[in-house]
Structure 1
Amino acid sequence: MKIISKISSYILGASAVLLVSSCDDGDKVIDEVFSSTTRGAVLRTLESNGVYDRFDTSSTFGFTFEEQDYEGGDLMEKVDLYISFDDNTEENGDSTVDEILIQTFLPEDFTEGEFGLPVASYESTLANALSLLGLEEGDFDGGDAIQYRLVLTLTDGRTFSNDDSTGTITGSFFNAPFFYGPVIKCIPPAPVPGEYTIDLVDSYGDGWNGASIDIVIDGVESSFTLEEGSSGTETFTVPDGTTEFTLEFVSGDFDSEVTYEITAPTGETAIEDGPTPAVGTITLNICKG
């Protein structure tokens, strides 16, 4: 019995030594991991809205962002905002403008947000954006893009921007692209007359299941849908002198299967949406009307 007790004691003692040794080794590994880990910061988008309209230079676009770092915002030194212009239309020459610093947000320019973190906003009319870029009428058109980029600088000198963002940061909860590139739309100030074509597609092949595109032309209502099958085409005409012209997408049972495209009388794709098109008013983009 004594021999067995001694053997048991030796085993327990050895186990304890191994356990302590393992914990010590583990702590060293963890310490090394943490010592080599660099923590950064993000600018999370809380909201971005508005549309730049080619035919209305008073139209606005803006965004609100929240600074997040591992000290609850105390590591932020500043946020620089840059603007640039991407000319996507060849007809009026190349008016591309490289980045220009237009504003610096300091900590005192932020307010405290819902979660106790610093929050700031920026909004600009199309006219103001064009002025900052040094562009005039004839230098821009629908399809061109005005681009905004944020650069976050921390108190230790490190900087973060869109080049540092991965899918984990730009998507999901963080939604931190550091970049906004609203494309200039052409929203006709008056209905563009002529024949419009609607191409309707259902990926499952059983029709739109209750979804539809409803239009109103001077009080006359019409509705277009895909009763069955995987695709179909419909046309309608907006007469000369029309004063009221609205379109709306009405949700059905399986919108994730639904896609549509509307071609304007000018031959342009006025809109394409889906799968799961936006429900409600449809805004057409027609630059040649």
Structure 2
Amino acid sequence: MKNIFKIIAILFGFSVLIYSCDKDPDKPVYDLIESPETGAVLRTISIDNNLLDVFNPESAFKVTLEEQDEENGALMENIEVLVAFNDRTPDNGTTPPSEAMAKTIPASDFSSGPIGLPRATVSVTFGEAVSAMGLTEDDYDLGDIIVVKFRLNLTDGRSFGPESSSSVLTGIYFNSPFQYNSLLSCTPPPGDYVVKMFDSFGDGWQTDGGNGGSGITVVLDGSTTIEVGMCSYHEESDFECTGWPSGQGENECGDQYCFFEAEAIVTIPEGTTSAAWNFPGDQYGEIRFEIYAPDGSLVFDSGDFGETGAGLLPFVVCAD
């Protein structure tokens, strides 16, 4: 691998596979489609880690899944876990796309979840993925993508996977994409990261909500979450605004158009092995932000106002 620091533009687009679980007209799927096909889904409960440390073969992509079929899980035979490589860093040469089987998980590895359906946390390590695809260090670099795909096999011979997906219920109850992107990353430098935030309209941030919303979240080692953001004129929050129009102070401004800038600190402790930065979105296309590493270098610039969409922020900073 040639570089230990990159800023990468990555598209995280998923399609969603949806089939009905039974013929109860009260189910939400029946509100949207008139003649649903009976089948099965793997519903995403949570993505527990989507960063793979290229220097640690045991670093693992993890997702918690819930299986649902017309017999409430009784038809599941197994899940095949496939991995595919997506080369996003042509500086070290272009590695052709590849796909391979990483493992098979039997239905017996699932246990009954809170609503009586089979549920399990499924993982695939970086070492398992590159071994399955036959990749070497010369083939991948920081910022490349390993796509983790699932194929759900039923006891009656039917199978479901990404190729049979549709966008009927994107983001609603089932949330069953059958594939996920995992970013090749590394151990981040510890210290204070400065997040500078801006709003072009002057009424503060509206991210995933019209009157304010969530901030940027940083998930450390897949468990600890730090959240920072910019205040909004429209609702109270713990976020702050520190910038004011030229020549005016806070007391002189006095209306909703005073909320232009903010700055926050994200402290990554010593011993942290991964940090996933996520942006909740931009309701009105008025937001931009910059992230600076502990050494003062700019490591991520969201671009023009409204340019960055919701999701995992595609930048990598590695400790020496």
1:5-54: per-residue Cα shift (whole Å, max 9, x none)?
xxxxxxxxxxxxxxxxxxxxxxxxxxxxxxx8631111111121122234
1:149-197: per-residue Cα shift (whole Å, max 9, x none)?
11122333322112323334442111111011111234434569xxx98
In structure 2, the partner of 1:45 is: 44
User: Structure 1 counterpart of 2:198, which letter?
Assistant: V
CA distance in 2, matches of 1:284, 1:37: 40
Unaligned runs of 5+ in 2: 1-34, 207-211, 216-227, 231-239, 246-257
Q: How many residues align?
A: 228
Q: How does 1:1-289 map to 2 (within 5 A)?
A: 38-50=37-49, 51-189=51-189, 200-207=197-204, 225-228=242-245, 258-262=287-291, 268-269=299-300, 285-286=316-317
CA separation of 1:102 and 1:154: change in aligned 2, threshold 3 A: same
How far does residue 232 in structure 1 lie from its aligned partner after superposition? 5.8
Q: Please give the secondary structure, in 2, of the residue aligned with 1:156.
A: coil
Unaligned runs of 5+ in 1: 1-35, 215-222, 237-242
Contact 1:42/1:69 (<8 A) preserved: yes
Q: Please give the secondary structure, in 2, of the residue aligned with 1:38.
A: coil
CA separation of 1:47 and 1:59: change in aligned 2, threshold 3 A: same
Q: Identify which range, 140-149 or 104-113, moves more after superposition.
A: 104-113
- The structure showing larger relative contact order (alpha-carbon pairs under 8 Å, at least 6 residues apart) is 2
Q: Identify which range, 92-101 or 62-71, moves more after superposition.
A: 92-101
Q: Please give the secondary structure, in 1, of the residue aligned with 2:152.
A: strand
Contact 1:53/1:184 (<8 A) preserved: yes
CA distance in 2, matches of 1:147, 1:39: 27
CA separation of 1:208 and 1:68: change in aligned 2, threshold 3 A: closer
The TM-score normalised by the length of structure 1 is: 0.60
CA separation of 1:55 and 1:224: change in aligned 2, threshold 3 A: farther
CA separation of 1:108 and 1:207: change in aligned 2, threshold 3 A: closer
Identical-pair percentage? 36
Q: Please give the secondary structure, in 2, of the residue aligned with 1:72.
A: coil
CA distance in 2, matches of 1:164, 1:288: 41
How far does residue 208 in structure 1 lie from its aligned partner after superposition? 5.9
CA separation of 1:266 and 1:56: change in aligned 2, threshold 3 A: farther
CA distance in 2, matches of 1:277, 1:70: 33
The TM-score normalised by the length of structure 2 is: 0.55
How far does residue 82 in structure 1 lie from its aligned partner after superposition? 0.6
